[in-house]
């Protein structure tokens, strides 16, 4: 997701949002960054698949399974993977090459979780750049060296 915005001082800013497949380490969240890896998810997924297979295998031939039950089982299986994808962290970057005058190049970086939050934050950053010529110092983006 890319967006180009012209600041109130005339500089062009490029706002980029990139989906992160691994969790970036943030100083505030360092204690909570212990990750068990993908093994627990594979074990739980395998156990769920085994239970579904046993459920289907033990069903007598005379029993008619309603389609709504199949839909509920499919939703239960897909709930956590879809939730995982929708709550991935996104890295937001707002950068400008500067101009020939006194304005140097700048890069601001921040992390936002969730697709809807990313769209909202990109809109807020773009609006703040249009009004004040740089992202909000008290916002999620912070300047980098």
Whether residues 94 and 139 fall in one domain:
yes
- Predicted confidence band of residue 90 (pLDDT cuts 50, 70, 90): very high
Q: Is residue 30 part of a domain?
A: no
Same domain? 78 vs 42: yes
Answer whether 5's CB lies under 8 Å from 123's CB. Answer: no
**Where in the sequence is the domain holding 75, given as residue range(s)?**
38-86
Q: Same domain, yes or no, for 46 and 68?
A: yes
Interval 58-74: pLDDT, tens: 989 899 889 998 899 88
| Whole-number Å distance between alpha carbons of 93 and 2 | 10
> Is 49 found in the same domain as 67?
yes
User: pTM of the entire structure?
Assistant: 0.70
* 28 occurs within a structural domain: no
Quick check: 80 pLDDT over 60?
yes
With b meaning 16 or more CB within 10 Å and e meaning fewer, what string describes 31-42?
eeeeeeeeeeee
Q: Please check whether residues 108 and 133 belong to one and the same domain.
A: yes
Is residue 138 a part of any domain in this protein? yes
Element (H, E) at 143: strand 142-143
Q: How many domains does the chain have?
A: 2
28 pLDDT higher than 70: no
Q: Are 75 and 6 in contact (CB under 8 A)?
A: no
Helix axes 67-86, 39-57, angle to 10 degrees: 180
Residue after which a domain boundary falls, among 86, 109, 126: 86
């Amino acid at each position: 997701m890319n967006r180009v915005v012209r600041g109130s001082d005339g500089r062009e800013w490029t706002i980029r949002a990139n989906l992160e497949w691994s969790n970036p380490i943030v100083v505030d969240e360092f204690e909570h960054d212990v990750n068990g890896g993908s093994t627990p998810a594979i074990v739980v997924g395998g156990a769920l698949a085994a239970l579904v297979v046993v459920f289907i295998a033990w069903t007598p031939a005379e029993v008619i399974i309603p389609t709504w039950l199949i839909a509920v089982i499919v939703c239960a299986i897909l709930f956590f993977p879809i939730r995982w994808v929708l709550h991935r962290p996104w890295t937001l970057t707002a950068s400008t090459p500067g101009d020939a005058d006194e304005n140097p190049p700048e890069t601001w970086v921040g992390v936002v979780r969730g697709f809807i939050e990313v769209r909202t934050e990109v809109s807020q950053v773009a609006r703040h750049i249009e009004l004040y010529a740089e992202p909000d110092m008290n916002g999620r983006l912070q300047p980098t060296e």
